[in-house]
Amino acid sequence: MPSSRLRAAVLTAVVLLSSLVAGCSDDDSGDEDLTAQELHWKDCPAPSQAEGGGSAPSPLPDGDAWQCATMKAPLNWDDPKGDTLGIALIRAEASGDPGRRIGSLLFNFGGPGGSGVTTLPAFGEDYAALRTRYDLVSFDPRGVGRSDGVRCENDQQLDAYFQQDMTPDDAAERTTLLDNTKEFNAACEKNSEKVLPHVRTTDAARDMDLMRQVLGDAKMHYFGISYGTELGGVYAHLFPRTVGRAVFDAVVDPTQTSEQGALGQARGFQRALDNYAEDCTSKAEDCPVGDTPADVKNRIARLLAQLDVQPLPGVFPRELTQSAATNGIAQALYSQDFWEYLTEGLEQAYDGAGRTLMLLSDSMNGRSENGEYSNLVPANIAINCADDRARYSPAYVEGRLPAFRAASPLFGDFLAWGMVSCTDWAVPGAADHPDVSAPGSAPILVVGNTGDPATPYEGARKMVDALGAGVGVELTYKGQGHGAYDSKNRCVQAAVNGYLLDGKVPAAGTVCS
């Protein structure tokens, strides 16, 4: 289940593709000028387990191959001449007239913790129009996938970790949850001690500016989705004069603490569930999971209460627990395209089988069918805990449960208890919230979706205000799901493409539906 700013749906809906091996080097970089390094692009291999496994990316529609390379970056940006690590990159070269090529368009699809090297090829056709004038480029941020990915527990331990009761009802269950969280965090420190202090969003933003220079671009042209909007905002704050044409879609509220973010997600997922229930029961045919919106939600609540006592058969040998079911429901709410799977999963569960909801939960957690996990969740926790200063005690969380339950009867407890994930983390958090003020930056198109569960719509306005006067330009999409561009709404795509391809900034306050 998502904790604060947890992963975009695109990261969990597809587990494909590739990159090159990267990792920390103990060699001192000495006087090497990393901005002058040459990237050695090659055909992409199959992705690593940390990236989610699978096959190498298929050729592009025009027959061109995806290319991968590794960029060397300082492990510690405060010591740029010290040890380095490798940042895995992927690109599709521009397909149009070379004379009209603008440069590279860098993508971050969110998380934090998602592999851009695996995600970009999975959605490559969606960005074909942008490829006419840009090289499409993405990357595994530091700590993610092949970019010295954070490692914590092994696959068997993760199976047990995700099966546990994450909404404790008594002292014994609370102790178990806290002990398991402490063990998980200790495993992260043991297995990834060297990289944990250096996976903050500010580090990734500095990597991006190095990437810009190594790719030969005077300006950073950027498309950030979900957490990628926070990363883009931090980049704009650090390097406002090098921002080119940038789009933020599915916008993180940069003014919130991690608690406020979790509470906002509780409201967002509840809103998405309300919309799902309304949609299902408003159709001409009968809704198979309830007669009215209230009935749909009441039946789900009863199911989760029953699973807390008696799990259902899931994906053998694992069972569908209350935690897994809640996680699977949340995953299905990321996109209206997934609502049919939610209906299928609920129908199965009411008949005593938990397979579909279990598979949805596995997708959220980065588990492939062979039982191997990507490092999506470890990286997500590591980056969030390195970024967020707050450390919440169990007693504090218990005191906040009423507020979270008021925000969402279904998801409130889950998101509230998720706040203890950083309590015993080895690395102190950097700040209460990111600084994205970017005076002097070029305009940034900020796209908010009114039905977004993971990054609620209100965050778009907060991002515009925080970027500063004359920088953020807000566009509203009245739709469902996480993000707007990949909804294929023509109005949204025309506005985004018009800015990225032709530099046409839409009027502030434009609404698409």
Residues marked active site are found at: 226, 452, 482
| Tokens 């599709």 -> residue | 92
Instruction: Report CA 381 to chain centroid distance, whole Å.
Output: 11
Give the separation between CA 110 and CA 334, rounded to whole angstroms. 13
Q: Does residue 248 sit in helix, strand or coil?
A: strand
Strand stretches in 84-209, DSSP E? 84-92, 103-108, 134-139
Q: With beta carbons less than 8 A apart as the criterion, state whether 350 and 342 touch.
A: no
Beta strand 67-74 with 84-92: parallel, antiparallel or unpaired?
Answer: antiparallel
Q: Which amino acid is at 2?
A: P
Q: With beta carbons less than 8 A apart as the criterion, state whether 447 and 251 touch.
A: yes
| Tokens 């030969």 -> residue | 216
Give the separation between CA 141 and CA 148, rounded to whole angstroms. 9
Beta bridge partners of 367: 373
Residue among 71, 81, 85, 110 at smallest CA distance from 196: 85
Q: Output the CA–CA distances (angstroms, integers) from residue 386 to 105, 127, 143, 316, in the order listed.
A: 27, 32, 11, 36
Residue among 498, 497, 502, 448 at smallest CA distance from 472: 448
- DSSP string over 263-314: HHHHHHHHHHHHHHHHHHHHSSSPPTT-SSHHHHHHHHHHHHHHHHHSPEE-
| Tokens 């993610």 -> residue | 144
Task: Tell me, letter by letter, the H, E, C secondary structure of 61-89.
Answer: CCCCCCEEEEEEEECCCCCCCCCEEEEEE
